[in-house]
């Protein structure tokens, strides 16, 4: 009893912590060293007993013995058969159980991090060894994902697969009959991409004479091939095809289109001169002749204007420098250029607008519209008035606009014409509603007041009085009209 009491007193008065002194080592460092020494001692114990340890299975029999191997093989086969039977009953797939292999890891290898066969840095490295086989079965890919290049597809099936975007080889169609059946199936499918793909295959594998002869009786495929050749620029092949079909006009037009690829102006002019003799229709021949004449005029005008611009002799060129060359420009652009820079020239000059109008038979509407735009841009209002003024056989003058005075007003307003000029042409608009809309839109007050007066609409005239400035001449004019007792108002 006294001994137990002494032990209890010693327990309560003792402590595992010591007082701090500068001579003592760091507690954590000392604990680390003690742990390291414990591990090393345990490793020595395991190493010493490693050779004496006998590996046994969970049943207690030594691993690697004959009886153990027989039992493991039998148990593996039984478990595999049981697994397959259960999978068939359940209707789901399962994997056959693999026979258990003898483990090459011992207790010492787990502590030391290595085995007798190979060396690992840690236990995790040992368990994740890349040398261990993966027994998971490989899943079979769907058959639809395989791209079949060699199956004996019929022409109809091949066309259907091509329509769905599948890759198909057309090289197995070797005979002429198979190729023509394939083309007919592609045409019957009404898919332009498939038809073009088959035509490219036939173009590559058939002689031209045979291909042209078969396409002559297949107009849909023929149109697809002609369009394809034009888009790809295969000019020689296209010309041979058109000559075989005896389409002389199309041959001439195809040759004429080649001028677009000629950059040099003089060479293009000579080429166009040679195109005049090609077998065009009568209408097309006149167009080719006009094209050649226009380019010839443009060359002359460009040479003269470039000289004037460089010499600085023309005030118009100094005030409005040219932004581009006139060469290879359309006829309307050339007419606008002439109306802008050469409007006052005599008719005998190549650059005169009237000469261009007479030579190329430009309609009055087109000429007035182009000349009006050019002179309004220069704010030459006198030329605009002269352009729209005509004389009859008695010598009387009259304003006339083939394009309509409403379009004249719009063009003038777009070029910032003053109100006085706009009012003169707004009055000439025949339709009353259009005239009122234009006059109100562009603030031509006099035209609005005069129109309401002619319509004898007192209410509208009174309402419009609020839209003009107070004390202005327009307000005085409205007062004067409203106070006129001789006007019989409608309302």
Count how many Cα atoms sit within 13 Å of the Cα of residue 95 in the half-sphere of its side chain: 9
Q: What is the pLDDT of residue 14?
A: 66
8 Å CB contact between 461 and 489: no
Residues 6+ apart with CB under 8 A from 409: 422, 425, 426, 429, 438, 442
* Separation of alpha carbons 399 and 380, rounded Å: 17
**How distant, in Å, are the alpha carbons of 402, 435, 446 from that of 416?**
22, 19, 19
Tell whether 241 and 267 lie within a shared domain. no
Tell whether 238 and 179 lie within a shared domain. yes
Tell whether 291 and 355 lie within a shared domain. yes
Count how many Cα atoms sit within 13 Å of the Cα of residue 114 in the half-sphere of its side chain: 9
End-to-end CA distance of the chain: give it in Å, rounded: 138
Tell whether 384 and 462 lie within a shared domain. no
Tell whether 439 and 456 lie within a shared domain. no
Tell whether 341 and 423 lie within a shared domain. no
Answer yes or no: is 130 within a domain.
no
pLDDT digits (tens, 9 = 90+) for 112-128: 444 444 444 444 444 44
Answer yes or no: is 10 within a domain.
no
Tell whether 234 and 161 lie within a shared domain. yes
Alpha-carbon 216 to chain mean position: 36
Tell whether 357 and 367 lie within a shared domain. no
Q: What is the pLDDT of residue 311?
A: 87
Answer yes or no: is 326 within a domain.
yes
Q: What is the pLDDT of residue 233?
A: 84
Which among 219, 246, 273 is the end of a domain? 246
Tell whether 454 and 424 lie within a shared domain. no
pTM here is 0.60
Identify any residues that bridge with 114 across adjacent strands, giving them in sequence order.
Answer: 119
Answer yes or no: is 454 within a domain.
yes
Continuous H helices in 91-188: 107-112, 123-127, 155-163, 176-188
Low pLDDT (below 50) residues in the chain: 25, 45-53, 77-78, 80-81, 84-137, 144-150
Answer yes or no: is 290 within a domain.
yes
Tell whether 437 and 449 lie within a shared domain. no
Number of domains into which the chain is organized: 4
8 Å CB contact between 209 and 200: no
Tell whether 379 and 419 lie within a shared domain. yes
Identify any residues that bridge with 398 across adjacent strands, giving them in sequence order.
Answer: 390
Which among 361, 392, 409 is the end of a domain? 361
Answer yes or no: is 148 within a domain.
no
Outline where DSSP puts E strands in 303-394: 389-391
- For 399, which DSSP code? E
Which residues constitute the domain of residue 309?
A: 263-361
Which among 246, 278, 304 is the end of a domain? 246
Answer yes or no: is 29 within a domain.
no
Tell whether 278 and 350 lie within a shared domain. yes
* Separation of alpha carbons 426 and 437, rounded Å: 10
C-alpha radius of gyration, the chain, whole number: 51
Answer yes or no: is 41 within a domain.
no
Helix (H, G, I), strand (E, B) or coil at 391: strand
């Amino acid at each position: 009893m006294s001994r137990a009491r002494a032990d209890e007193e010693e327990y309560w008065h003792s402590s595992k912590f010591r007082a701090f002194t500068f001579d003592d080592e760091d507690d954590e460092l000392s604990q680390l060293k003690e742990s390291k020494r414990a591990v090393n001692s345990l490793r020595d114990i395991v190493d010493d007993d490693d050779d004496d340890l006998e590996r046994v299975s969970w049943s207690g029999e030594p691993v690697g013995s004959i009886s153990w191997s027989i039992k493991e093989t039998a148990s593996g086969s039984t478990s595999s058969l049981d697994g397959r039977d259960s999978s068939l009953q359940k209707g789901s797939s399962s994997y056959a159980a693999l026979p258990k292999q003898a483990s090459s890891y011992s207790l010492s290898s787990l502590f030391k991090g290595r085995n007798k066969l190979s060396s690992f840095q840690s236990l995790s490295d040992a368990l994740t060894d890349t040398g261990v086989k993966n027994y998971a079965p490989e899943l079979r890919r769907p058959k639809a994902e395989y791209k079949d290049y060699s199956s004996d597809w019929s022409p109809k099936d091949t066309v259907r697969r091509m329509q769905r975007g599948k890759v198909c080889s057309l090289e197995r169609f070797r005979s002429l009959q198979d190729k023509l059946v394939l083309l007919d199936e592609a045409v019957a499918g009404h898919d332009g991409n498939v038809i073009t793909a088959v035509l490219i295959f036939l173009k590559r594998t058939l002689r031209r004479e045979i291909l042209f002869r078969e396409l002559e009786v297949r107009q849909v495929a023929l149109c697809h091939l002609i369009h394809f050749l034009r888009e790809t620029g295969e000019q020689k092949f296209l010309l041979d095809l058109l000559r075989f079909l005896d389409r002389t006009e199309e041959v001439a037009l195809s040759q004429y289109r080649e001028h677009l690829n000629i950059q040099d102006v003089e060479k293009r002019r000579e080429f166009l001169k040679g195109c005049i003799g090609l077998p065009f229709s009568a209408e097309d021949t006149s167009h080719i002749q006009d094209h050649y004449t226009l380019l010839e005029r443009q060359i002359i005008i460009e040479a003269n204007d470039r000289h004037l611009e460089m010499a600085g002799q023309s005030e118009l060129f100094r005030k409005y420098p040219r932004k581009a060359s006139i060469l290879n420009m359309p006829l309307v652009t050339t007419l606008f250029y002439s109306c802008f820079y050469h409007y006052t020239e005599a008719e005998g000059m190549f650059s005169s607008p009237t000469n261009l109008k007479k030579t190329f038979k430009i309609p009055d509407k087109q000429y007035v519209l182009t000349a009006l735009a050019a002179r309004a841009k220069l704010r030459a209002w006198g030329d605009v008035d002269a352009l729209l003024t005509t004389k009859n056989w008695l010598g009387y003058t009259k304003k006339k606009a083939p394009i309509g005075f409403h379009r004249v007003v719009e063009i003038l307003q777009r070029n910032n014409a003053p109100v006085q000029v706009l009012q003169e042409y707004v009055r000439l608009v025949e339709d009353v509603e259009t005239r009122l809309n234009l006059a109100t839109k562009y603030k031509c007050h006099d035209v609005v007041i005069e129109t309401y007066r002619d319509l004898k609409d007192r209410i509208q005239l009174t309402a419009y009085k609020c839209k003009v400035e107070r004390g202005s001449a327009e307000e005085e004019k409205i007062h004067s009209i409203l106070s006129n007792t001789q006007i019989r108002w409608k309302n």
